[in-house]
Amino acid sequence: MLQPSQPIYTVAGIRTIETAAMPSAKPPLMERAGRASAEEAVRLMIDRPGALLIACGPGNNGGDGFVMARHFLQAGRKVVVAFSGDTAKLPGDAKKSWEAWRDAGGETLSDLPSAPPEGWALVVDALFGIGLQRPINGRYADWIRALNALPCPRMSIDVPSGLCADTGRVLGVAFKATHTVTFIALKPGLLTLDGPDHCGELVVKRLDLDANSYLPAPGWEVRPALFGDQFAPRRLNSHKGLFGDAVIIGGAPGMCGAPLLSGRAALRAGAGRVFVGLLDPRAPVVDLIQPELMLRPAEDALSEGQAIAIGPGLGRDEAASALLHRAVASKHTLVLDADALNLLATDDTLAGALTRRHAPVVLTPHPAEAARLLKALPDEIQANRLDAALKLAQRFDAHVILKGNGSLIAHPDGRWLINRSGNPGMSAAGMGDVLTGLLAALLAQRWPIEAAILGAVHLHGAAADLLLAKGIGPIGMGASELPDAVRMLMNQWVAQHQHY
Query: What Å distances lie between residue 162 and 113, 128, 146, 252, 378, CA to CA?
Result: 21, 7, 14, 45, 22
Residue 156 interacting entry, from ligand NPW, ligand ADP, K ion, none, C-beta within 5 to 8 Å by type: K ion
As a whole number of angstroms, the distance between CA 266 and CA 435 comes to 9
Binds ligand ADP (CB under 6 A): choice among 238, 427, 491, 492: 427
Exposed, middle or buried, 198 (CB in 10 Å: 0-12/13-18/19+)?
buried
Indicate which of ligand ADP, K ion, ligand NPW, none lies near residue 183 (CB less than 5 to 8 Å, by partner kind): ligand NPW
Asked if 360 and 449 count as a contact pair (C-beta separation under 8 A), the reply is yes
Q: Any residues with CB less than 8 A from the CB of 17 and at least 6 apart, and which?
A: 9, 184, 185, 209, 211, 214, 215
* 59: contact with ligand NPW by CB under 6 A: yes
How many Å apart are CA 378 and CA 385, to the nearest integer?
10
From the list ligand NPW, K ion, ligand ADP, none, which binds 436 (C-beta under 5 to 8 Å, kind-based)?
none
Nearer to ligand ADP, 77 or 366 (CB): 366
* Residue 27: cis peptide before it, omega within 30 degrees of 0: yes
134 near ligand NPW (CB under 6 A) = yes
Phi, psi of 143 (to 5 degrees): -60, -45
157 touches ligand NPW by CB under 6 A = yes
- Binding to ligand ADP, residues 360-399 (CB under 6 A): 366
Cα dihedral 93→98→99→103 (10° resolution): 140
Among 110, 133, 237, 498, binds ligand NPW (CB under 6 A): 133
Residue 493's binding partner among K ion, ligand ADP, ligand NPW, none (Cβ under 5 to 8 angstroms by kind) is: none
283, 433, 444, 483: residue in contact with ligand ADP (rule CB under 6 A): 433
Asked whether the beta carbons of 371 and 345 are under 8 A apart, the reply is no
- The HSE-up count of residue 183 (CA atoms within 13 Å, CB side) is 28
Q: At closest approach, how far in Å is the CB of 471 from ligand ADP?
A: 18
132 labelled as ligand-binding?
A: yes
Range in contact with ligand ADP (rule: CB under 6 A) among 210-218, 229-237, 425-433, 437-445: 425-433
423 binds, among ligand ADP, ligand NPW, K ion, none (CB under 5 to 8 A by kind): ligand ADP
404 annotated as ligand-binding:
yes
Alpha-carbon span 183 to 93, nearest angstrom: 16
Partner in contact with 200, chosen from K ion, ligand NPW, ligand ADP, none, beta carbon below 5 to 8 Å by kind: none
Q: Which residues contact 444 (CB under 8 A, 6 or more apart)?
A: 243, 244, 245, 246, 247, 266, 271, 272, 305, 306, 307
Of 34 and 219, nearer to ligand ADP (C-beta) is 219
Q: Which of 2, 16, 50, 91 binds ligand NPW (CB under 6 A)?
A: 91
Min separation Cβ 161 and ligand ADP, Å: 23
Closest separation between CB of residue 442 and ligand ADP, Å?
Answer: 15
C-alpha distances in Å from residue 371, one per residue of 294, 342, 349, 423: 34, 10, 19, 23
What, of ligand NPW, ligand ADP, K ion, none, does residue 403 touch, CB below 5 to 8 Å by kind? ligand ADP
- Residue 268, C-beta contacts closer than 8 angstroms, at least 6 positions apart: 441, 483, 484, 486, 487
Work out whether 125 is an interface residue with K ion (CB under 5 A).
yes
With H, G, I as helix, E, B as strand and everything else as coil, classify residue 403.
coil
Q: Around Cβ 432, how many Cβ atoms within 10 Å?
A: 24
Verify binding: residue 403, ligand ADP, rule CB under 6 A: yes
**Binding region for K ion (CB under 5 A) out of 119-127, 190-198, 382-390, 468-476:** 119-127
Other beta carbons within 10 angstroms of residue 21's beta carbon come to 18
Q: Does 312 bind ligand NPW (CB under 6 A)?
A: no
Q: Is 495 in the site for ligand ADP (CB under 6 A)?
A: no
- In the list 160, 224, 430, 473, the residue contacting ligand ADP (rule: CB under 6 A) is 430
Q: Binders of ligand ADP: how many residues, by CB under 6 A? A: 18
* Amino acid making up residue 47: D
DSSP state, 424? G
Of all residues in the shown chain, the one whose CB is closest to ligand ADP is: 432
Report H helices in 131-177: 138-148
Is 40 a residue that touches ligand NPW (CB under 6 A)?
A: no
Total number of residues that touch K ion (CB under 5 A): 5
Q: How far is the CB of 120 from ligand NPW (least distance, A)?
A: 21
b/e map 248-278, b = 16+ CB within 10 Å? bbbbbeebbbbbbbbbbbbbbbbbbbbbbbb
Sheet with strand 52-56: strands edge to edge: 108-109, 79-83, 52-56, 122-126, 154-157, 179-183, 201-205
d(CA 262, CA 437): 4
**With binding defined as CB under 6 A, does residue 469 bind ligand ADP?**
no
Pick the binder of K ion from 45, 82, 124, 157 (CB under 5 A): 157
Residues annotated in a binding site for (6S)-NADPHX: 60-64, 129-135, 140, 158, 258, 313, 366, 433
Point out which residues bind K ion (CB under 5 A). Answer: 61, 125, 156-157, 161
Point out which residues bind ligand ADP (CB under 6 A). Answer: 366, 403-405, 407, 422-424, 426-427, 429-433, 435, 460-461
Residues annotated in a binding site for K(+): 61, 125, 161
